[in-house]
Structure 1
Amino acid sequence: MLNGWSAEYALRITPVVNDQQYLHSSLHWTFPQAYYSILFTARALLLMRGCSVSNDELVARKVASMVVSGLYPQGLNYYLTGTPHDYNAKRLQGGAALFSVLTQTRDKQLKKQGNQVQTNPKTAMRSPRTGEVLDKLGPEHYKALADQTGPTCFFNVLHRLRISSNQPNPDVLTTDELDVRELHACLVELVNRINQVHEAYLAKALGLDNYQTLVAGLPGYLNESFVNERLNTLIPILAK
């Protein structure tokens, strides 16, 4: 949790800087901060649920499973299944823009899964007639890839959009097209909502007193800021 909260803290303080050039440059670490914050808090939650995983893709599948199971509230509980040209959105209320982001993300997931499968002689799908590895996959092959990939949710989107200074992501809009402060604000709010859910489940599992002790032992920059503020919203809920 400490790693997740520290990443969220770093994300939150970036927009405070009143320097436009710095803010535009910050896009190279803003998405990683958002992604790794929810990754670490998700790992903590999964560990509390008896599942110790560190691989990003395994964490993504576990989070997607929790989304499908309804463990996330409205606004975070949407997901996408299916194959290209036959995608099926569930609980999606974000309109065409969010659907487009989800489909782009799932396209890349299926392409990556297909590459992994087809470049491995042991798993490659082959022609039943010649036994040769298929160069082009059909609907039935994509269905198999979709089953292996699992659902696509918010976690997969943030994973795709993470960028770094030496690996710019071509899917992210250029800074000329962005209101960087607004983007930061949206990411902060999204991470806040996701981590609040993770904290609620964690606090319930640990017990309110134990969770309060955990928060009280954090460095001041965390226990005197958003972490404690979110705890205060949980107290009346968990104290019932």
Structure 2
Amino acid sequence: MGLREKLLELRERQKKSIPSRVFFNHFFAITYCISCNDDRFKLKKIPYYNKIKIKNPDFKIKEVKKLLWNSWSTEYAYRIGEQIDNAEYYKFSLHWNFPQAYYSAYLSMTAFHETQGIANDQHEKSIKLFGNSVKDKHYPSAIGFYSNGLKDEFQYNGLPTFKGFPKDNSPLTKIDCLEDAELQVATFLKTTRKQNANDKRERFKKQNDKRFLNGKKEFRKAFSKKHWDIIYGTIPETSVFNLLYRLRIKANYRDIETFINADIDFKSFHTSLGELIDYLNFVHEAYIVKAIGIDKYEKILNEFPSHLNDRTALRRFYEIIKKI
């Protein structure tokens, strides 16, 4: 292979690695924002938290137990890589790490929803409930960011230092301060909201939705703002769970190849994503404790094999939640 061919191959490989480098930067930005938030563990500052109680008229604690145990088991499986601590393992475990990260957080959220009588099996609906709660300030400001709005009218909330996108904005910009991190989070929200709209458009196309047919009764190729606004009107707030869900669907073989071939620090990526899961699980576990009481929660916790969650749920409970 000649020099020119080698350079072209290198350029192509770098081009393919861009999406994974972008995701790495985005998730690092989220955990950076959380770590900079001095109130991230001060749940009593949240009026909603102080009023939490069981609202499910058919509440069964065994359902909460099942969901929490599944969440903790999945989180343990995600963190096995830390025990192996091998660069190649971190790289090739991405196939299952992405779904593990999402499902651990999703299951703990659903366990809390069970106490409130709003648990369901539809991911989109659960994520919408989370987004509504974020908008209503039910969650700590550390994860209180979200985006909403119609085409070209997105609004970004919960990012105090974000003042808009600079002309030279890049999703690969190095993060050196909170302003950099919040700009990356806003970028992530923007691209995810647009992706959700494109996915909805494809769904409406398959349904041959009459709102988007042209004069020939064909699904129109060109969309005006009016058509896009119909779609955006059906999309709820875009929050951190939309970002996690977007990563989960990246776990198919074709997409994961772009990650495996990327020039990124896979261990740092794993750590950043793990820190986000740890924080989301902390919040929902603390909310569950507030709802069902510390004694009942501790019983659920102590009946679970301690060697599987001594660094996760047990640590969160005894070092943070019990002291709130």
Distance 1:95 1:173, change over 3 A: farther
Q: How far 1:131 sits from its partner (Å)?
A: 5.5
Distance 1:46 1:219, change over 3 A: same
Which of these residues, 104, 109, 115, is aligned with residue 42 of structure 1? 109
Corresponding residue SS for 1:31: helix
Q: How far 1:56 sits from its partner (Å)?
A: 1.5
Kept in 1, the 8 Å contact 2:197–2:232? The answer is yes
Q: How far 1:135 sits from its partner (Å)?
A: 2.6
- Which has the bigger relative contact order, CA under 8 A and spacing at least 6? 2
Kept in 2, the 8 Å contact 1:117–1:124? The answer is no
Distance 1:16 1:139, change over 3 A: same
Q: How far 1:13 sits from its partner (Å)?
A: 2.3
Residue 93 (structure 2) aligns with: 26
> Does residue 288 of structure 2 align to residue 221 of structure 1?
no
Corresponding residue SS for 1:211: helix
Q: 2 CA distance for matches of 1:74 and 1:90?
A: 10
Q: 1 CA distance for matches of 2:144 and 2:152?
A: 22
Corresponding residue SS for 2:117: coil
Corresponding residue SS for 2:143: coil
Q: How far 1:124 sits from its partner (Å)?
A: 4.0
Residue 64 (structure 1) aligns with: 131
Larger radius of gyration: 2
> Does residue 152 of structure 2 align to residue 85 of structure 1?
yes
TM-score (norm. length: structure 1)? 0.88
> Does residue 246 of structure 2 align to residue 160 of structure 1?
yes
> Does residue 294 of structure 2 align to residue 208 of structure 1?
yes
Q: How far 1:197 sits from its partner (Å)?
A: 0.6
Point out the more displaced range, 9-18 or 197-206: 9-18
* Cα deviation 1:52-106 (Å, max 9, x = unaligned): 3112111111111111111221221100112343221111253322222211111
* Cα deviation 1:5-26 (Å, max 9, x = unaligned): 1111122221331322222111
> Does residue 193 of structure 2 align to residue 106 of structure 1?
yes
Q: How far 1:201 sits from its partner (Å)?
A: 0.9
Distance 1:165 1:14, change over 3 A: farther
Q: 2 CA distance for matches of 1:230 and 1:23?
A: 24
Residue 147 (structure 1) aligns with: 233
Residue 73 (structure 2) aligns with: 6
The structure 1 segments of at least 4 consecutive aligned residues displaced by more than 6 Å after TM superposition are none
Unaligned runs of 5+ in 1: none
Q: 1 CA distance for matches of 2:271 and 2:139?
A: 21
Q: 2 CA distance for matches of 1:207 and 1:13?
A: 31
Q: How far 1:203 sits from its partner (Å)?
A: 0.9
Q: 2 CA distance for matches of 1:30 and 1:45?
A: 23
Corresponding residue SS for 2:97: helix
Corresponding residue SS for 2:212: coil
Q: Percent identity?
A: 26
Q: How far 1:136 sits from its partner (Å)?
A: 2.0
Corresponding residue SS for 1:75: helix
Unaligned runs of 5+ in 2: 1-67, 161-180
Which of these residues, 263, 283, 302, is aligned with residue 177 of structure 1? 263
Q: How far 1:176 sits from its partner (Å)?
A: 3.4
TM-score (norm. length: structure 2)? 0.67
Kept in 2, the 8 Å contact 1:34–1:187? The answer is yes
Distance 1:100 1:70, change over 3 A: same
